[in-house]
Chain A
Amino acid sequence: AQSVTQLGSHVSVSEGALVLLRCNYSSSVPPYLFWYVQYPNQGLQLLLKYTTGATLVKGINGFEAEFKKSETSFHLTKPSAHMSDAAEYFCAVSAAPGSARQLTFGSGTQLTVLP
């Protein structure tokens, strides 16, 4: 069984400020972890993913996330927010290949960037 908890359904930051979106997961097997971004009325775009290897992963648009097994966390960060970063962000967990059950999504975090 696996689950994802995103702390904070809404996060507001000023343009240029640090972005931190929190994600904690629960998984009975080594997880694969993903962050997706969704703009209004659009599908999901993959920002970054962790599968194996380096625990700090870099994604598109300047985002990165660090897998911390001891904390069961995979928080998303960006040093300096842009107005274009305003969107809904979803953290997701998946079991290893071969699992019948695929992505389990968190409830999402709406990021607002203030001018």
Chain B
Amino acid sequence: GAVVSQHPSRVICKSGTSVKIECRSLDFQATTMFWYRQFPKQSLMLMATSNEGSKATYEQGVEKDKFLINHASLTLSTLTVTSAHPEDSSFYICSARLAGGPNNEQFFGPGTRLTVL
């Protein structure tokens, strides 16, 4: 099956620093990748939709200047949390949709646990 990786799996940073999270589709091309945020004991909330070669589409309430998304190739999307604060601590999960694939199926990465001190 299609595999999506995320790096790093865990990151701890100081308040005010920026953190970059990578999402890669390992064995398929993904024209669209999605970034989700999950707080403890809660569901996944879509943050943004990332389309290769174009600007990301952010969900309402998500600050695009704080959560920078780049989708420079068909196999890589990055999420940069700028000037991170403790309230940004969360589990960030990406998913990728198979280019030309049927049925809207998304393949999920293993997630990145961000802790901001």
Contacts and interface: CB of A to CB of B under 8 A. Distances in A.
Interface of A: 32, 34, 36, 41-46, 49, 51, 90, 94-97, 99-100, 102-103, 105-108, 110
B108 A102 contact: no
Interface stretch (B43-51, B63-71, B76-84): B43-51
With a 10 A CB-CB cut-off, give which of A44, A46, A94, A95 has the most chain B CB atoms: A44
A44 B93 contact: yes
Given A94-B104, A105-B43, A107-B43, A43 B57 contact: no
B97 A102 contact: yes
B104 A44 contact: no
A42 B42 contact: no
Contacts of A106: 43
A99 B46 CA distance: 15
Given A106-B43, A108-B42, A100 B108 contact: no
B93 A100 contact: no
Interface of B: 4, 6, 34, 41-44, 46, 49, 57, 91, 93, 95, 97, 102-111, 113
B102 A97 contact: yes
B42 to A, nearest CB: 7
Nearest to A106: B43
B103 A100 contact: no
A103 B106 contact: yes
With a 10 A CB-CB cut-off, give which of B41, B57, B91, B104 has the most chain A CB atoms: B104
Given A51-B103, A97-B104, A105 B57 contact: no
Contact of A44 (B41, B42, B44, B102): B44
A109 B21 CA distance: 28
